[in-house]
C-alpha cells in the first residue's frame, strides 16, 4: 500500500512539474505572440508557395495535400523548437531551471507538451488552409486529428530533445535543422501516409501509421526523459 502511495505521490509531483514547465512556456508564448506573429504567417506562406510550385494545379495539389501538410508541420516544428530554446537563453534562465529542483524529466515533458500544443494549433489552421486553398476533402476527421496529435507529439519530443542538445551553442539554429530534419523523416513518411488515408488520397491503413508515429514519440520521450538532466547540467 505504501509503495502505491509513494508511486502516486511521485507521479503527481511529476505531472505538476511538467504542467508548470509547460504553462511557463505557453504563458511566455501568449505574451510574446510569437506563434501568431511568426509561425502562422510562415505556415501560410509555405502553403501559398507550394501552390505556385505545383503550377496552381488543383488536382496535383489535392493529391500532394497530405505530404505538404506533414512537411509544413515539420518546418514549423523547427521554428517552434528554436523559440523554445530561445526563451531560456537569457538572464541565466537555463541555470535557474537546473536549480529549481524540478525533475529534469518533468521539465522535458513540459517543454515538449508546450511545443506540441503550438504545433496542434498551427496544424488545425493548416488543415483549414488546405481545405480552402487546395480543395482537399476530409474523409475521416478522426484520423486527421489523431495523425495531427501523434505527429505533433513525435516532432515535439524529438525537437525538445535535440533542442536541448544544441542549446547555448553559437550556431544552434543551423545545427538544430541539420539534426531535426533527418531524425524526423519517419514522422514525415508516416504522417503523409496517415493524412493520405484521412483525406482519401491514398488507400492505406492510416491507423497503423498513427501507431508508428506514437511509437516514434514514445522512443524519443523515453530517451529525452533519461538524458535531459545531463544535457541541462552540461549546457
Partner 1 sequence: MNPQSSSTTTSTEEAAAAQITGYLGGPARTRTRFTFWLGTLTLVGFAAVAALGLLAVPADDVQGDAVRIIFVHVPSALGAYAAFGVTAIGSLMWLWRRSLWWDTAAHAGAEVGVLLCGLTLVTGMLWGRPTWGTYWEWGDVRLVTTLILFLVMVGYLSVRSLGGDSASVATRAAVVGLVGAINIPIVNRSVTWWANRTLHQESSLTDGKLEDLTLFTLVLAFVVGAMAIYWMLIHRFRIGWLQRQISDRDLSEALRTRQAEAQQ
Smaller CB separation from partner 1, 115 or 120? 115
Q: What region does 203 belong to: left with phi over 0, alpha with psi -120 to 50, or beta?
A: beta
Select from 43-51, 77-85, 163-171, 195-203 the region that touches partner 1 (CB under 8 A): 163-171
Cα separation values, 205 from 104, 115, 126, 217, Å? 37, 28, 23, 19
Burial classification of residue 55, based on how many CB atoms lie within 10 Å of its CB (0-12 exposed, 13-18 middle, 19 or more buried): exposed
Cα separation values, 184 from 66, 75, 180, Å? 16, 11, 6
* Least distance from partner 1 to the Cβ atom of residue 72, Å: 20
- Residue 64 binding partner 1, by CB under 8 A: no
One character per residue 176-205, x = contact with partner 1 (rule: CB under 8 A):
--xx-xxx-xx-------------------
Smaller CB separation from partner 1, 36 or 181? 181
* Least distance from partner 1 to the Cβ atom of residue 55, Å: 21
Look at residue 202 and give its three-state secondary structure. coil
Q: Rule CB under 8 A: which residues touch partner 1?
A: 158, 161-162, 164-166, 168-172, 175, 178-179, 181-183, 185-186, 219-220, 223, 227, 230-231, 234-235
Amino acid at each position: 500500500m505504501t509503495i502505491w502511495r509513494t508511486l502516486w505521490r511521485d507521479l503527481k509531483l511529476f505531472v505538476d512539474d511538467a504542467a508548470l514547465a509547460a504553462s511557463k512556456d505557453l504563458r511566455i508564448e501568449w505574451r510574446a505572440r510569437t506563434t501568431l506573429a511568426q509561425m502562422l504567417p510562415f505556415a501560410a506562406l509555405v502553403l501559398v508557395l507550394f501552390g505556385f510550385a505545383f503550377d496552381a494545379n488543383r488536382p496535383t495539389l489535392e493529391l500532394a495535400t497530405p505530404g505538404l501538410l506533414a512537411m509544413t508541420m515539420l518546418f514549423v516544428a523547427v521554428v517552434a523548437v528554436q523559440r523554445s530554446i530561445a526563451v531560456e537563453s537569457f538572464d541565466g534562465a537555463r541555470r535557474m531551471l537546473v536549480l529549481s529542483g524540478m525533475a529534469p524529466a518533468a521539465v522535458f515533458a513540459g517543454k515538449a507538451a508546450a511545443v506540441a500544443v503550438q504545433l496542434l494549433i498551427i496544424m488545425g489552421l493548416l488543415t483549414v488552409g488546405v481545405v480552402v486553398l487546395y480543395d482537399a476533402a476530409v474523409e475521416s476527421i478522426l484520423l486527421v486529428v489523431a495523425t495531427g496529435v501523434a505527429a505533433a507529439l513525435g516532432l515535439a519530443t524529438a525537437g525538445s530533445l535535440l533542442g536541448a542538445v544544441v542549446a547555448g551553442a553559437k550556431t544552434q539554429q543551423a545545427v538544430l535543422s541539420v539534426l531535426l530534419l533527418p531524425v524526423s523523416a519517419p514522422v514525415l513518411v508516416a504522417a503523409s501516409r496517415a493524412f493520405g488515408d484521412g483525406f482519401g488520397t491514398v488507400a492505406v491503413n492510416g491507423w497503423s501509421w498513427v501507431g508508428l508515429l506514437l511509437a516514434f514519440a514514445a522512443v524519443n520521450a523515453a530517451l529525452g526523459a533519461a538524458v535531459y538532466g545531463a544535457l541541462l547540467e552540461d549546457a
